[in-house]
């Protein structure tokens, strides 16, 4: 599921891949408005399925981190307001979700982005972060 969800540098929010053309992608916002926009080759685009978080041992895929947030929050929107939270509150939240995260390489801006993306996905009804093996 996360392979088709995209983050585009310079544009707020998350986008779902709809179609591909010769020199661009057609994406749709992952929000209530479902606005479709073109994304050109010059834009920096990354799939959420390709993102991982640093830990003391290895990198953990974003899908597993989002699943841990979902388990902590019981599938609801994050209880922590990332816009108003202090640096210590963000670190404590991340420690509760991923206890062995690398405190040197995971910055508070990364934790804010994680919470923001989680809230966007939950509000859009996208809660199957880890694909079940069938």
The domains of the chain are located at 2-48, 51-123
pLDDT at 87 over 90: yes
Given pLDDT bands bounded at 50, 70 and 90, which one contains residue 132?
Answer: low
**Average predicted confidence (pLDDT) for the chain:** 88
Q: In what order do the strands lie in the sheet with 36-40?
A: 36-40, 24-29, 15-20, 5-8, 45-47
Model-level pTM?
A: 0.88
Q: Quick one: tokens of 114? A: 């994680």
pLDDT tens track for 8-54: 998 888 999 999 988 899 999 988 788 999 999 889 999 998 999 99
Given pLDDT bands bounded at 50, 70 and 90, which one contains residue 104?
Answer: very high
pLDDT at 2 over 90: no
Q: Which of the four CATH numbers 3.40.50.11900, 2.30.30.730, 3.40.50.740, 3.40.50.150 does domain 2-48 have? A: 2.30.30.730
d(CA 11, CA 15): 10
Classify domain 51-123 at the CATH topology level: Arc Repressor Mutant, subunit A (1.10.10)
pLDDT tens track for 60-72: 999 899 999 999 8
């Amino acid at each position: 599921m996360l392979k088709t969800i995209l983050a585009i540098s310079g544009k707020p929010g998350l986008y779902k891949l709809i179609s591909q053309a010769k020199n661009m992608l057609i994406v749709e916002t992952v929000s209530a408005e479902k606005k479709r926009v073109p994304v050109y080759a010059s834009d920096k685009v990354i799939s959420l399925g390709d993102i991982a978080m640093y830990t003391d041992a290895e990198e953990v895929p974003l899908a597993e981190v989002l699943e841990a947030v979902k388990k902590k929050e019981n599938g609801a929107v994050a209880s922590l307001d990332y816009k108003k939270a202090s640096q210590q509150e963000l670190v404590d939240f991340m420690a509760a979700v991923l206890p062995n995260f690398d405190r040197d390489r995971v910055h508070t801006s990364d934790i804010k982005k994680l919470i923001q993306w989680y809230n966007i996905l939950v509000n859009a009804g996208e809660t199957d972060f880890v694909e079940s093996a069938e």
